[in-house]
Structure 1
């Protein structure tokens, strides 16, 4: 895979204007110089035609038409000619209910997806048995829950040797005691394991429980009120991610909000831990947010772990904040699977420091409602090209006119990941559409662009501004100064900011035409997303 150099612009980007100590040249004359016309690129490209608003095909009977509609918490692995995507039980209008658990679909090109059905027809029997066995052994013993209510969340699919492992989350949503979740913590969550030799068969051998939420004695069963968000369990046993280390060790990374993110070593043969007898057997914390020793409500979840052999780092992707609007993705890295994980600024995320860089945030280019809830990502590679990809849900914003409960529209997004010279991932601003990659030239860059520099703002959509690259090497509009292109390695330089340039798809244009897309990071680790509009 290619690695791209990244340096940092001297623009503050506050209000999209230049600061006094900017490293970009002084503003040019407001009169635009005479333009040269950019040569056409990918004129014959035909973009994806499915709508981001899929209400017209929302019913279960129309599931063959869904493509990437109703995707939430995806996980992707390739088997033979197909990529397979597995996900949380979720759909607009809950039309999936009564049809099984863990929806999955497949694609040959990461653009056109075929809905396949569900992994499980019913709840695995071991979940209720394990739950009530745990309750019976509590002090004092708790009565069995005869009819548990469940949530089926966030599976992780991985190829391990010649088998495929599916780690899946089942949460029991009943209160531990009493009848109200306002006055009691909800019951345990469980991570289970199923295996198959072939994803196309959908024939799974269920291996039972891997790990569960376990109390650590810091809290009682009860909550002080509905606004008490402390947490009864040490680690919340949801959101599994699996990795084989460079040394061949197998690890499960899991957790959500309660006490942070855990790393748990597994037996390489069974895919499970050898012991779950003491609290230490449930793993070690590798990431938190805030005061990790006292704060049990840490506003991060959905760990995704990869190892990049070209940089020799483990990368821990994290979802910050609530999932309906504010969701945003961060990443930290470490030379060791158990950390410490450090951000781009050197801050220790394992100890609870805020994680930077940020890779995705609620945003809107022109001519679209924009997207929110863009996190709980999976990160995967094309095994033939080694290209990395980022996939997540994207939700429409709240209160979009003409769409009932618009924030419940969940569309699967797949984007390319590229890498900076200093080994950090950047996510491309537009969804992957298979646009052919053509040779770059100076002339190809002339024209007008939209830019979003994503400052972290809770539940706020970042919107775009415009600038122009002129044929004389100057910049006008919201930015000013000079620009240059290294065509051989696909890097556009604006001041001290270097941006990875790719041929991509303008998803907001009529007809979804091909265009140039650019991505980079500021010094603080804030993503800069740019696309050419003419």
Structure 2
């Protein structure tokens, strides 16, 4: 939980930096969702006006698609006054014949935020069935809450139960169960903290073997070549934790083993996400390109596993390894 003036200053600085990129150039990728396949194309969504979309036939060459929202649900402004249609950090799953897209509605420097859900039977804008339906608000946070309802990531267990991790700064990363039919918050569900650090956000959950793995970002994003983002990880035998790092430290007390940090010119990697068709073998993320004035781009790397069951960032897939 942020208690010191220094902590709040760090948070405010990061969010003001985000505000400075509120109108990014075309093609800029920040907070990419999981990558999923629809017919012959793979798609992901990212932070931007109305939520940006991109598609590719080879996971290397990506083309921009239409935004999810051209007109916005009325509840956005009702629940989060001041949001201007710039929506953050989406995540995407396929379930029960629909694509479920979760996303953040927020304003900079405040935890007056909400996570929403939209669904569509297809991702192909040329398909007659294409169209995003607003399913409403999933969870929200307001001044007085000790968490921030942004950065959703969805986990579907082998038992078909549905979970969402989310959070940024404040008291850290939260876990909640979702209703498997509606995709909304399960009745009487309460957020459970599963990770904390003074600077933390962008969680993701995956399962590999007998463990659940929680990826989070420590550090500050959105500062181009000055970003200090890095991806850290812990694991647990149960989805609810506790999540421990390699040294046995709990992630709720600041633990987390470094998974991927800056490797110049690839600066401040963040927002670990999965890639459909490559379970446990590839992952995506964004980074700031030190050779392009800190422009944020999509990266894809192979996901390797050590003999003792820890994930390791492998060879670059995009941009192609040299």
**TM-score with structure 1 length normalisation?**
0.51
Instruction: Give the direction of change, closer, same or farther, for the CA distance of 1:211–1:395 in structure 2 (3 Å limit).
Output: same
Q: Are 1:272 and 2:195 an aligned pair?
A: no
Q: Are 1:342 and 2:244 an aligned pair?
A: yes
- 1:81 alignment partner, one of 32, 40, 64: 40
Give the C-alpha shift of residue 430 in structure 1: 2.7
Give 1:499's aligned residue. none
Give the C-alpha shift of residue 59 in structure 1: 9.7
* Residue deviations 1:479-529 (CA, integer Å, cap 9, x gap): xxxxxxxxxxxxxxxxxxxxxxxxx721xxxxxxxxxxxxxxxxxxxxxxx
1:151–1:172 contact (8 Å) kept in structure 2 = no
SS in 1 for 2:242: coil
SS in 2 for 1:343: coil
1:382–1:388 contact (8 Å) kept in structure 2 = no
Give the structure with the larger strand fraction.
Answer: 2
Q: Are 1:396 and 2:289 an aligned pair?
A: yes
Give 2:103's aligned residue. 168
1:392–1:413 contact (8 Å) kept in structure 2 = yes
The residue correspondences of 1:76-225 to structure 2 (distance < 5 A) are 76-89=35-48, 100-131=49-80, 148-149=83-84, 151-173=86-108, 186=110, 188-201=112-125, 202-216=130-144
Instruction: Give the direction of change, closer, same or farther, for the CA distance of 1:246–1:188 in structure 2 (3 Å limit).
Output: same
1:377–1:392 contact (8 Å) kept in structure 2 = yes
* Residue deviations 1:180-218 (CA, integer Å, cap 9, x gap): xxxxx63611100011111113511110100011444xx
Aligned residues: 291
2:87–2:104 contact (8 Å) kept in structure 1 = yes
Q: Which runs of 5+ in 1 are unaligned?
A: 1-57, 64-68, 90-99, 132-144, 174-184, 217-232, 290-297, 365-369, 434-503, 507-534
2:79–2:114 contact (8 Å) kept in structure 1 = no
Give 1:377's aligned residue. 272
Give the C-alpha shift of residue 160 in structure 1: 1.4
Give 1:359's aligned residue. 259
Give 2:13's aligned residue. none
Taking the aligned partners of 1:286 and 1:159, their CA distance within structure 2 comes to 25
Taking the aligned partners of 1:196 and 1:157, their CA distance within structure 2 comes to 11
Give the C-alpha shift of residue 328 in structure 1: 0.5
Give the C-alpha shift of residue 429 in structure 1: 4.5
Give the C-alpha shift of residue 120 in structure 1: 0.7
SS in 1 for 2:118: strand
1:210–1:273 contact (8 Å) kept in structure 2 = yes
SS in 2 for 1:126: helix
Give the C-alpha shift of residue 149 in structure 1: 4.1
2:42–2:55 contact (8 Å) kept in structure 1 = yes
Give the C-alpha shift of residue 88 in structure 1: 0.5
Give 2:229's aligned residue. 327
1:251–1:263 contact (8 Å) kept in structure 2 = yes
The residue correspondences of 1:34-73 to structure 2 (distance < 5 A) are 69-73=27-31
Taking the aligned partners of 1:411 and 1:115, their CA distance within structure 2 comes to 13
Q: Which runs of 4+ in 1 moved over 3 A?
A: 147-151
Give the C-alpha shift of residue 414 in structure 1: 1.0
The residue correspondences of 1:251-262 to structure 2 (distance < 5 A) are 251-262=163-174
The residue correspondences of 1:331-480 to structure 2 (distance < 5 A) are 331-350=233-252, 352-356=253-257, 358-364=258-264, 370-382=265-277, 386=279, 388-397=281-290, 406-407=293-294, 409-432=295-318
Q: Which runs of 5+ in 2 are unaligned?
A: 1-22
Taking the aligned partners of 2:246 and 2:177, their CA distance within structure 1 comes to 27
- 2:201 alignment partner, one of 301, 305, 327: 301
Give 1:23's aligned residue. none
SS in 1 for 2:75: helix
* Residue deviations 1:318-338 (CA, integer Å, cap 9, x gap): 111001321100111111111
Taking the aligned partners of 1:124 and 1:313, their CA distance within structure 2 comes to 38
Give the C-alpha shift of residue 247 in structure 1: 2.2
